[in-house]
Structure 1
């Protein structure tokens, strides 16, 4: 693993993950009050369905055995199989998994997908392990979870510190545990796989592209275009890069970036591809990029701009910095980047927030396309994938925007109301067993 990963891990350790659960519950109850959610359904959605904790041994390269702890929280499956990522990080615990699983339930419901919500991972700092050790850890974790995941039950995907290679190991291990006649029929047990192993062409850019589309849709609704707009990005990984790539193509200007190592600024514009190419030769970091100046870390979110894209960690916009933000639009590329206190300040200042469950849902929509492709034995071309993503994302945005305007509420509350109503309808129609 690179040193940039280690630095990111050290930074995330300081983020209070317990606050995420407070955020998601506050957001849920605010929306539930607005729609007068049935008390029994509120009770059901306030808790998780299943919480799986596994402890498993793995032999290290030096011959010693280490014991790891893994988690999978399955929040709700009223609309379909549980869906959500697996992250490898020291902060992974049951509370973080609960919050992230609940967010996935709202996200998949809002997108109109036949999924519920789940999340999990392993409490581990992956920078301390070799590639071979990570493979063995992943395969052993999959074996421990094998009876709790499945292509029609619970479908993991990549998240923090996991990627397409991780998903390929999980798929291979899971399929190896199935009877021979069923193995190829279980390829869609995970999504986010490599192209050559059943992955979807374009899945790598789906989340960032969705962020771009949401920003574009919001500007269109306000009779504006992207041309000449200045934007800043916190996190220049997969989501931050692809969002920047598409924004720049439509005339917007990247003026500041922050990663785990530092922050840079150039009000004349930072060329997205030049910066990405630079990071590939600089251990993944933006630091010392020659076409930009150093920016103080604490002042990053207060940089002069039109659009701010937090695409790194949770709980980044708080009461301590919300008043300094100069952007008129926040597009949440990360999960839970704005806490409740920070959000109140932003809304009072008239700043619009495109919420995470809408803004970054391109990833799970892309995952749904991959799942369908595997399930139906099809191969979709990139152009077809992007066209489908365009349609789905625009439908979701318009639905939330119009509800927000009609009900006189912020976009996050509108998104939650729509998501929760869809789940409530399923319970009302089916009833509660027995």
Structure 2
């Protein structure tokens, strides 16, 4: 067992990566339960509510696209520290805005700095955890997205009732800043001796501070397919997170606090399901591709069922299954990224594929808002949401996890065998 995989410090790394990702997920999810109150406060038209989320995700996608490259260059510690500090600060600023224009700009800035934490955290986890440990570790890490939804929907509606929507942005912004400072103090990018081992196994130096070569990633067909798969999944997940509160309230007359409770149940299921799914796939050696296909198919079908409901009781009963489908695929797509890319470029690969994934988050709020505004139909909105997971499941069928990454070097006559990124078994030229 290698140094990085046996160190107990890896649990500190996982905890801090999870905490940073959780807070940016809380920041992202705050808009859903706060949007109706912000709309009333700033006189935002219903059709334009989704534009605020779209501005956030435009910045978020850009952050992912460049954040992965910066993670491989500067290291995950610096990325988590700097981006969390800036994103949290602008969350505080958003709590002070008094115009639609200012709100859109600040949302874009928050997204621009919040998006890189996924690549930073995934890079650190891939460094400190072995391939046979990553399913569980990624499951724990990815609970952040669903836990963020739980926290935002449990806290924000009640804060709005007692003190107003602005205070929720102040609170979450301050906590995000504190976590970023702790990341700077506590995190290390790699274990002692990691560079020596990496050059011995990967046959290429990839030191923090050197510019990564991205050409192998651009030729990686499976990473492109993984990007489309995640795009479809997040189309459904964040379309639901962004719009479900408003749709239940405005289309079915559900009380805002009750609508928030539906989202809490929806996301709370995923907090337990994500590490469980990762642990089971590690234990049974199931891989990631087939479970992703099954989960996304179930997710799309459940969205169609949810769209036929109209009462709070029905929504509450459906929320657990919907939450399972909406989030359980994410640790598997995250764990599949270093398998397809190789560990040396995992930060850039994670940032690149997550940028493609988040394009679904960028597009879906505006599309659903337009459809609902034009039709007034609750079910039509959920048909739009369900399209994404079905496309993701179909695309995932063509991914080949057993194909060696394009940046994995081939053996020459005198070279020893090179370990594969998934099992540590050797591959031949």
TM range (shorter): under 0.3
Relative contact order, higher structure (CA 8 A, sep 6+): 2
Q: Which structure has more strand as a fraction of its residues?
A: 1
TM-score (norm 2): 0.25
Q: Which structure has more helix as a fraction of its residues?
A: 2
